Amino acid sequence: MLIRSRRGWEIPEAQITPEHVFLNRRAFMTGSAGLLAAAAMPAGLRSAFAEADPSADLYPAAVNDMYEGGRPLTPEAISSTYNNFYEFGSHKRIAKAAQKLKIRPWTVTFDGLVEEERTVDVDTLLRAMPLEERIYRHRCVEAWAMTVPWTGFPLKAMVDYAKPLSDAKYVRFETFLDRKMASGQKQGWYPWPYVEGLTMAEATNELTLMVTGAYGKPLAKQFGAPLRLHTPWKYGFKSIKSIVRISFVAERPVGFWEEVQGREYGFWANVNPEVSHPRWSQATEELIGTGERVPTVIYNGYGEFVADLYKDMDGERLFM
C-alpha cells in the first residue's frame, strides 16, 4: 500500500470549509446537485451536451482517489460556461460558439523524433489508453481557479504508445486549425494554431494527464474535446485543448502565449504566488462561482510530485 504524508495543498485546519458545504462527489454528478447544475445551463447548451459521443460508454471511468482536489468541486454549470478557448472568442462566454467544433472524425498525428510517424483515430486511441478519473485543481494565469473531476490517462501512456527516439527532448502539442469552424482563428494577429510544449520529464511525470472527459462524461467541446492536456502545477494556458498533433522534438517549442507576449508568458509557467505577472499579483486566486479568494500555493500545491523537476535550473524563468 502506498502511504503518503499530508500533501502540500491540504488546507490548514482554520481554512477548512464546513462539511455541509462539500458536495458528495457522486451525488454531485448524478443526483440533485447535478440536476440543478444542468437546469442552470441555457437550453441550447444542454442539448449540445447531450449529443451522442462514440466514446460515451467509457464513462464514468474508475476513480483514482490518489488525486482528490482538496477543495469543493466547481459545479459543471460554472466551469463549462466560463472558459478560455480563443479559437472561439477572446472572452469567457465561448461555450455556445464552441459547439461548432466538429469532434468526429478526429485524428491525432504522432511525428518528429519517433520510431515511426503515424496518425491514429481518436476512438482507437481512447480505447488503447487506461482511462481513470482524477480531481485536479486548475489555476489560470489570470488568477482564477476551479476544481474539476477530469477523466483521462497519464500522458506517459501515450508517450510509450508513440515510441519516441532517445534524442527527443520535448513534446510539442498542436490544436486544430480551421478558420471556417473556429472564427477566432480569423484573427490574424494571433499565431494560430495554438501550440504548447513540455520537457520529456514533465510529459512523463505521473501528474500529467491527457483529458478526454469531465464530470463523468466525454469532454464538452468548450473544455477542448476530444483530447486536451492538463498539467495542474502550471498555469492553465499550458493545458492545450483539442489536440491534433503531438511531435517529439529536440528544440524547446515556443507556446502560443509565449509567442504573443514573451515578456509575460514563458515556457515553464509553474504556479508561484511570489512571482507576479507583470500586470497583476499572483498571490491569491478567485474560486470561480463562489466570489471567494484564497491564497495561491507554489506549484498549485503539487510540489511533492514536481518540485524535483526544477532543481538546479538557475537562470530559467520557471514561474511565468
- Between 83 and 204, name the residue whose CB sits nearer to ligand MTE: 83
Min CB(176)–ligand MTE separation in Å: 8
- Between 205 and 242, name the residue whose CB sits nearer to ligand MTE: 242
Residue 208 exposed, middle or buried by CB count within 10 Å (0-12, 13-18, 19+)? buried
Min CB(175)–ligand MTE separation in Å: 4
- Between 90 and 119, name the residue whose CB sits nearer to ligand MTE: 90
- Measured between alpha carbons, how far is 276 from 270 in angstroms, rounded to an integer? 12
Q: Which of 198, 206, 276, 279 is nearest to 239 (CA)?
A: 198
- Measured between alpha carbons, how far is 63 from 41 in angstroms, rounded to an integer? 26
What are φ and ψ of residue 64, in 5° steps? -100, 100
- Between 58 and 145, name the residue whose CB sits nearer to ligand MTE: 145
Q: Identify the three-state secondary structure at position 201.
A: helix
Min CB(195)–ligand MTE separation in Å: 9
Min CB(300)–ligand MTE separation in Å: 12
Q: Establish how many alpha carbons lie within 13 A of residue 75's alpha carbon, considering only the half-sphere containing its beta carbon.
A: 18
Min CB(206)–ligand MTE separation in Å: 21
By CB under 6 A, name the binding residues for ligand MTE: 83-87, 140, 175, 194, 223-224, 236-237, 239-242
- Between 242 and 282, name the residue whose CB sits nearer to ligand MTE: 242
Q: Verify cis geometry, omega within 30 degrees of 0, for the bond prior to 273.
A: no
Min CB(316)–ligand MTE separation in Å: 21
Residue with smallest beta-carbon separation from ligand MTE: 236
Min CB(238)–ligand MTE separation in Å: 7
Q: Identify the three-state secondary structure at position 152.
A: strand
- Listing DSSP states for 237-298 in one string gives GGS--SEEEEEEESSPPPPHHHHH-TTT--S--B--TTS-BTTB--SEEEETTTTEEEE--G
Rounded to 5°, angle at Cα 269 from 98 and 188: 45
- Measured between alpha carbons, how far is 152 from 137 in angstroms, rounded to an integer? 15
- Between 55 and 83, name the residue whose CB sits nearer to ligand MTE: 83
- Between 204 and 242, name the residue whose CB sits nearer to ligand MTE: 242
